[in-house]
Amino acid sequence: MRIFAVDDEPGVLETLHEAIEAAAPGAEILDFTRGQAALDAVVQEGVIPDVIFSDIRMPGMDGLQLAASVRKAAPATRIIFVTAFSEYALEAWKSHVHGYVMKPVTAEDIRDAIQHLQPTPAPVRTDKLRIRCFGYFEVFWKNEPLIFARKKTKELLAILVVRKGSASSAEELISVLYENTGPEDMKKAKQNLRNLIFDLTETLEKIGQRDILLRKGSSIAIYPEKLDCDYYQMLARGAAAPDLYYGEFMEQYSWAESAKGMISSLEGRKAMTEGDYLEEQETPDHGADQSALSRGNRGCWLEDL
């Protein structure tokens, strides 16, 4: 469990941290003296807490504003106010947070608050985002093309699709999206990437598909099982798959060539399994594929067939 502790008074924050530590042994506890810093961790860094214990009266962004913003960015996060003023109980109720505890806080208070949290029900999924990888990479929602505000946002999603659920770090994504980025340009590239991730999140949020994204620390991935993807269908069905692939894969992206080579290798192995061209085919040269995907090549981390 990951828990945020937020209070602008360092002494009170230390007491809150100790109470949480005693009530939830083994939990990851992150302390913040400003509401805005806690929100930045969620929105910009992708550090999503299970629970936030937050003071209400704080300079800058107060607890009420923090709760409203977190509900939009991380709906599954539970928020519990920590306050010395009983009149804020009504504010907590109006803000639809998940509880409040009174200062001075104790480990028993924290333990009771956590135990009374109700699990967030999983949303009922009636549709899946449809992804077409063969030919040009395209994304469809309810049979209509999904519109992206930026071309790079769509390309970011394409990279995550090829990764099939494997996490990608900021550095890995930048090496593909912004090729030949030097150390002096890395800060700007990271900001551009954060903007793309935010744009992708917002785009998916609008159609109720935000939960296909998995954020862990500064890395990002997707849940392959939540997508209707022709590429995944071919990989899952193997030799039993229909002829979905005709030599074209995400044609608008040059970095997809490495994945295309491995798909062709898979198709060759499938043909041999079915008994086609057994006399003419030689053993596939897997060494060539491994060379193409060496650690020095920017496509090395794109695929793990």
Q: Residue 247: which pLDDT band, with cuts at 50, 70 and 90?
A: confident
CA dihedral 204, 210, 216, 217 (to 10 degrees): 60
Structural domain spans, the chain: 2-115, 133-289
pTM above 0.85, yes or no: no
Mapping DSSP onto H, E and C, the string for 37-66 reads HHHHHHHCCCCCCCEEEEECCCCCCCHHHH
Give tens-digit pLDDT for 86-117: 555 555 545 556 787 888 899 999 999 988 88
Q: Tell me what pLDDT residue 19 has.
A: 96
Non-local CB neighbours of 288 within 8 Å, separated by 6+ positions? none
Q: Residue 276: which pLDDT band, with cuts at 50, 70 and 90?
A: very low
Q: Tell me what pLDDT residue 195 has.
A: 94
Enter the tokens of residue 218.
Answer: 């500064």
Reported CATH class of domain 2-115: alpha beta
Strands of the sheet with 78-83, listed across from one edge: 28-32, 2-6, 51-55, 78-83, 100-102
- Which residue carries 């804020």 as its tokens? 88
Give the C-alpha separation, 219 to 247, whole Å: 31
Strand-pair partners of 100: 81
Exposed, middle or buried: residue 304 (CB in 10 Å: 0-12, 13-18, 19+)? exposed
Give tens-digit pLDDT for 42-72: 988 889 999 999 999 899 999 999 998 998 8
- Tell me phi and psi for residue 299, to 5 degrees: -90, 5
Give 133-289's CATH code, choosing from 2.60.120.10, 3.40.50.1970, 3.10.180.10, 1.10.10.10: 1.10.10.10
3-class DSSP assignment, residue 220: strand
E-assigned strand segments in 98-226: 100-102, 129-132, 138-141, 144-145, 213-216, 219-222
Instruction: Give the side-chain half-sphere CA count within 13 A for 203.
Output: 23
* Cα 195 from chain centroid (whole Å): 14
3-class DSSP assignment, residue 209: coil
Give the C-alpha separation, 81 to 64, whole Å: 9
Give tens-digit pLDDT for 163-195: 999 999 999 999 999 988 888 899 999 999 999
Q: What is the CB neighbour count within 10 angstroms for residue 22?
A: 13
